Amino acid sequence: MREVVFDTETTGLSAANGDRLVEIGCVELVNRVETGRVFHVYINPERPMNPEAQAIHGLSDAFLADKQLFSDIVEDLLDFFDDSPLVAHNANFDFAFLNEELSRLNRPDIPQARMVDTLALSKVKFPGAKHSLDALCTRYGIDRSHRIKHGALLDAQLLSLVYVELTGGRQIGLGLADAPATLPDEPERPASARVARSPRPHEASPEELERHAAFVAKLSNPLWDLDKDKEGLAAA
């Protein structure tokens, strides 16, 4: 199963009020394992950066001035997404910005049915606990020491590790209980067609017993005879 874990950075908190995307980072998972494929871009938002947002991710107007517009990267982004489920932390926020950008280009929204929200998963699994990405990394022992500021690709990589833990850990896909009783190319046989085999004999043959007795007769002062000697001395 293919899934895409992604994160975004923005000029502010409200897509509806004109804030824009400035960074997108995506990580590909197949069967809950990172494949090494990523998608990462910085985007010129065509509007000034909110100072509070810049304090979080460190992306300035000057840095973003020569970056591509969303219209320049949208095809590559959608190709990377393909039709896979999209995993994000507080996914409603990221989906709102993605769909607002798509709407500006008269492109269809990404359906909410494709959304997997790790914030919602965390709230169900750990009610009353802290649910930030930092808190979940701490809970699962995931190293985030290199996370000085928010960054879309780095946060997507951390979130992919958190997501695997939230959904059962690395062993979720082992499927030992579902292993087939036949080889992949071997047709399944109905129970009525299976031939019962008689149990194999495990007792020693007369020849084996004879060889064993001959071997034992050659032993000098075996331990079991020492016990008999002690009994004879006690009786005397």
* Active site residue ranges: 150
43 touches 68 (CB < 8 A)? yes
Long-range pairs for 64-69: beta carbons < 8 A, 24 or more residues apart:
64/22, 67/41, 67/42, 67/43, 68/41, 68/42, 68/43, 68/44, 69/43, 69/44
Residue 209 one-letter amino acid: L
Strand ranges across the sheet with 33-42: 33-42, 21-30, 2-10, 86-88, 115-117
Distance from C-alpha of 107 to C-alpha of 100, rounded to nearest angstrom:
10
List the beta bridge partners of residue 30: 2, 33
